[in-house]
Amino acid sequence: MSVLLLSSEDVETYARMTDVIPAVEEAFAAYERGSVQMPAKSYVELERYNGDFRSMPAYMDAGDWDAAGIKWVNVHPDNPEKHDLPTVMGTMIYSDPETALPLSIMDGTALTMQRTGAAAAVATDHLAVEDASTLGIVGAGIQSYTQVEAIAEVRPITEIVVSDLDDERVRRFIDHFSGEFDVREGSIAEAASCDVLSTVTPVRDPIVSLDDVGEHTHINAMGADAEGKQELETAVLEAAKLTIDDHDQTTHSGEINVPYGRGEIADPHIYAEIGEIVAGKKAGRTDDDGITVFDSTGLAIQDVAAARVTYEAATDADAGTSFDLIDTS
């Protein structure tokens, strides 16, 4: 049985944001409807290597289609210095839920970047002001690029303000986007005063204060992915209309995990899970809303939904490399 192998270049080409955004939105809606099986992310701790493996399996039924898969991802902070390898790498196995045959093995790192950007775009589409034209980016690492690509699909972004402590990263970011947007370096406060703000940093001490944030800014808090991380001061979360992707994940490892653990943020502060808004059970932005926040930790169903559209686009283009994995004779 032939399996389609998709490299990082293949995924970057065929995980088209115009396809991935609606796929991720459908995944959020399916999660709200309860037509999803998504066991908790499991960890294999590797203390001797200062790293870990994480497995993220899921099945989802979107109504018109269903899909299944698992992402196997690592976090090894010593990789860049000791082995000249990325800190985070991922592999996605996309399977046919009817037969369990693996349809594709694809680069999960590029896929994660696309689906993470798409999640921010879904939240922005529902929670940002309709005419949002300015975008602030705090953290100019690799994740910031798909934030721009995705959010520009759902709002008429013309101006970008980027803030990062690393001048070289800022320069690369500006060079990359200068042909498409009016993009400039600015302070965190300047970035946070934009119509939309995406924070994509690994910080453990909050760097965005309530005074920094614009009166009607929508914030995509994307950086916190582990216990102890927090990018926004608790006052921002307290003042905002707060939306999350998943209660268990966000309270344990998302933007709200630290203040939630301290009792500073409690369940009544949480307005909705994004699936409730996508499914129409709760309203998105209303005329009375000021600051809005989306706390994103990343769900396995996002990977499965993104893998599906990537596999279909690559198959239609006769891309990738096919190989025999299972003998069905």
Kindly list the catalytic residues.
71
Is 82 a known ligand-binding residue? no
Is 125 a known ligand-binding residue? no
Query: What does residue 63 show for φ and ψ, rounded to 5 degrees?
Result: 105, -70
- β-bridge mates for residue 33, sequence order: none
Q: Output the six-digit token pair for 171.
A: 């320069």
CB 69 within 8 A of CB 96: no
- β-bridge mates for residue 28, sequence order: none
CB count, 10 Å around CB of 16?
A: 13
Cα(17)–Cα(216) distance, integer angstroms: 26
Is 316 a known ligand-binding residue? no
Q: Three-state SS for 18?
A: helix
Is 142 a known ligand-binding residue? yes
Q: Output the six-digit token pair for 58.
A: 């899921």
Is 143 a known ligand-binding residue? yes
Cα(221)–Cα(229) distance, integer angstroms: 11
Cα(231)–Cα(225) distance, integer angstroms: 11
Place of tokens 């499914």: 279
Q: What is the DSSP letter of 276?
A: H
E strand spans, the chain: 2-6, 36-37, 42-46, 51-61, 66-75, 88-95, 102-107, 134-138, 159-163, 182-185, 196-199, 218-221, 241-244, 270-273, 292-295, 321-324
Instruction: Report which of 206, 211, 228, 247 is spatially closest to residue 38, judged by C-alpha positions.
Output: 247
Is 302 a known ligand-binding residue? no
Please state the residue numbers annotated as binding site for NAD(+).
Answer: 115, 142-143, 223-225, 229, 296
Please state the residue numbers annotated as binding site.
Answer: 115, 142-143, 223-225, 229, 296
